Amino acid sequence: IQKKLGQPPLAFFEHGDYLLRGNGITCLVERVTNSGLLADIESGRMTSKLEGCAADADIVILLIEGLILPARDGTTLIQEAGYVFNYYDLKGSHFPEGADLKMSFRRTGFRFASVQNFLVSGQLRWVHGVEFTLSASETAERLKELDDYFSKGFDQHLLHLQRSRPFTMKRENNIGEYVLSGFPGIGIERARAIVECFGALPLRWTVDEKQLSRVEGIGKVTARKLIEALGGR
């Protein structure tokens, strides 16, 4: 992949495969193939890798090369090397062009639900984003895009990552803050106030709107939206 990247301003670090820096933010990218991900999950290496990245960086991105899909029997399908786009015109449509994507997949013995649960758990604990690419070339392009992104000033972005993880994700009592801070209108300070008030991440069956609205900074509208986001009444 280094041949495809040329000489971009990317550097190797103790943890993670690529180190990106800018605007006072450190981002580590852990790059792995789809088959490598399954092997690392099984051996426990991926947990150690992501823990190390989370300890060293503000933002961690897991970049997976090759798609991972569920089979009909619940096992995991992984994309084999190579894919083809067949483009065609869409006459009479609002969209000028369409495309068929052709690729091959190989069945593995892993349960797809187990892989999916690991990725969800990883995003709650260590990773800010999980992305898939279709090839090494796309991985290289995505790394360049990420490097350009983090090298720009905040005022040059229409949208920046909201969560810079200002607390240690390895501490169990901070997972609730991390989850809540992702809800619209909550943010870090309100998330911390909620967790301090209830001692943990409140669930819809343990707290109501009236109790939430007593937390400093949480009004009735925000409390109602948060209850709905946690699963409704």
Domain CATH code at residue 197 = 1.10.150.20
> Which spans in the chain are helix H?
2-5, 34-43, 45-56, 112-125, 136-151, 175-181, 187-198, 209-212, 220-229
Mean predicted confidence (pLDDT) in 200-220:
75
> Token pair of 77, please?
């399908």
Q: Specify if 166 maps to a domain.
A: no
pLDDT at 208: 78
31 and 123 part of one domain:
yes
Residue 83's DSSP bridge partners are: 103
150 and 177 part of one domain:
no
Enumerate residues 6+ apart whose C-beta is below 8 A from 152: 22, 23
d(CA 56, CA 18): 12
pLDDT at 158: 42
Domain that holds residue 17: 2-81+108-156
Q: Specify if 161 maps to a domain.
A: no
Name which residue leads in pLDDT, 227 or 139.
139
pLDDT at 227: 74
Q: From 15, 6, 13, 65, select the one nearest 35 (Cα to Cα).
A: 65
132 falls in which pLDDT band (50, 70, 90)?
Answer: very high
Q: How many residues does the chain have?
A: 233
Domain endpoint, select from 156, 185, 220: 156
pLDDT at 24: 75
74 and 187 part of one domain:
no
pTM (two decimals)? 0.61
pLDDT at 203: 61
Name which residue leads in pLDDT, 137 or 81.
137
How large a percentage of the chain has pLDDT more than 90?
A: 29
Tell me the pairing of strands 18-22 and 25-33: antiparallel
Q: From 163, 162, 195, select the one nearest 176 (Cα to Cα).
A: 195
Across the chain, mean pLDDT equals 78
Residue whose pair of structure tokens reads 């690529």 in the numeric block: 18
213 and 126 part of one domain:
no
pLDDT at 184 over 80: no
Q: From 177, 179, 68, select the one nearest 123 (Cα to Cα).
A: 179
d(CA 175, CA 169): 7
